Amino acid sequence: MNAVSALRQWPTTPLDSVPLALWSASDIAAATGGRASADFEVAGVETDSRYIRNGDLFVALKGETMDGHRFLEQAFAAGAAAALVDREVLWPHILVEDTSEALEALAAAARERTRAKFVGVTGSVGKTGVKEAIFAALERSSRGAAHRSIKSYNNHVGVPLSLARMPARSKFAVFEMGMNHAGEISELTRFVKPDVAVITTIAPAHIENLGSMEAIAAAKAEIFEGVKPGGVAVIPADSPHFAQLRDAAKAQHCHILSFGRSEHADMRLLDAIPQASGGSLMTAQCGSGRLVFSVAEPGEHWVMNALAVMAAVLAVGGDLASAGLALAEMGGLAGRGARHRIAVLGGKALVIDESYNANPASMRATLAQLGQTPAARRIAVLGSMKELGDFSDRFHAGLAEPICDAKVDYAVLVGEEMHALVGEFHRILGKAGQGALGKVPTFAHCRDAGEAAGLLADYGIVGGDAILVKGSNSVGLGKVISELTRRDD
């Protein structure tokens, strides 16, 4: 058989007839009920003129204080092919009554035109990392035909925008859904309509707005409301709220696939052996079979994350071997576990970047990870945990135990809420200087990231040190990471 005849016999699929362009002018007009000023095609969708790439559709959203129409000139100068607008403009455009509603309509059209299998991910901790890992697994097995929401595009704008960006030829799609209040995930899941819905864990994030752990679990369980008939709910078997999540999923007629250490878990951890690289070699039981795979990311929390990933890939009909390879190769995400080796006096120091977010559960998990990290000295730069309301003092003071357990040598505590932890340290020191928790580290309290960077400089980082930087995003500890990694190789 020669090359020409081989090409003629190349297998065809229904996707071969799907246009390669993301959207045409007529498609956008039909989806949004708008009117096209010209015939055009676009390769992407963007709402921020600073991130426009050649061929994008710029959606000029209007907010309470900002109007995207003010940035049309910048968008087209950057390469936009067309814009979605609510007024006549000089450039190629689709004219609609309301651009926010039009973006949602475009998202709905994107969802309806595809045959892809959808995975929705939420949870108090770990949802972005799990979303990225599921995507990596499905992208590998589908040879690039997977799509996902980037960064943390998980709210009322990010989810529709991510859907609108989805190529019609996609075979898999992975979407993250976040919330601050009850009812928000309910709205988002009806956009995504997942075939598989994953809840990573339930922890006291946003408890200020929701009031109790049961209310947080109920808010996360809203993801099941949008699951397509016959879909699967992937839930943590070890959670105290397992029964609540299971019942909520069953109420929406979902099949249950649980993960964890519990004997009743469907994707059950049998063993996790720490590796010299910092990750784990895992063995899991699934039905009558066993899975053995490596996880590059360190920490107990990633052992559980990996089980959730495997369960989701299994539920959506993906390839478990590809999932194992993806987990073995994944590096930490910026702000969520990325590791940097920086040049300092006496050699190299390790910087662990967890600067994007923090809540009591993730603080404990990353401090435990720091405690398991080989180091001459362990340094923790910890920022305030936000949205804890009346629980704030209790949860901040409660960090004393995991900090002592991690054998931290020096702690820099950043933000007003950290006063409670400072008080707890003084209380422990007042009891003969040690206390039941063990040795209290040297510590300093400061107002902001700039002061924290100065305290680190004064302390003096040397070769062999391990530095964990973690706090709620609003504390701005990314500035500390930027300062430290200027020497990153």
For the chain, what are the domain ranges?
3-100, 114-329, 338-487
pLDDT tens readout for residues 259-308: 999 999 999 999 999 887 788 999 999 988 999 999 999 888 899 999 99
What number of other Cβ atoms are within 10 A of residue 99's Cβ? 25
- Got the DSSP string for 362-396? HHHHHHHHHHTS--SEEEEEEEPPPS-GGGHHHHH
Q: What is the pLDDT of residue 37?
A: 97
Torsion sign over Cα 258, 260, 263, 269:
positive
Stated pTM of the model: 0.85
Q: Does domain 114-329 have CATH number 3.20.20.140?
A: no
CA 22 to chain centre: 25
Rounded Cα–Cα distance for residues 470 and 356 (Å): 7
**According to CATH, what is the number of the domain 338-487?**
3.90.190.20
**For residue 15, pLDDT beyond 90:** no
Q: In whole angstroms, give the CA distance from residue 62 to residue 65.
A: 8
Hey, is 233 helix, strand or coil?
Answer: strand
Name the token pair of 150: 């980037």
DSSP 8-state symbol, 169: T
Whether 52 and 75 have beta carbons less than 8 Å apart is answered as: yes
Q: What percent of the chain has pLDDT over 90?
A: 80
SS3 (DSSP) at 29: helix
H-run or E-run covering 215: helix 213-220
Mean pLDDT computed over 33-38: 97
Identify the residue whose tokens are 């709402």.
47
Residue 333's pLDDT band, with cuts at 50, 70 and 90, is: confident
Assign domain 3-100 to its CATH architecture.
Answer: 3-Layer(aba) Sandwich (3.40)
Q: What is the mean pLDDT of the chain?
A: 92
Secondary structure letter of residue 57 according to DSSP? E
Range list of β-strands (E), 177-288 = 196-199, 232-236, 255-260, 267-274, 280-286
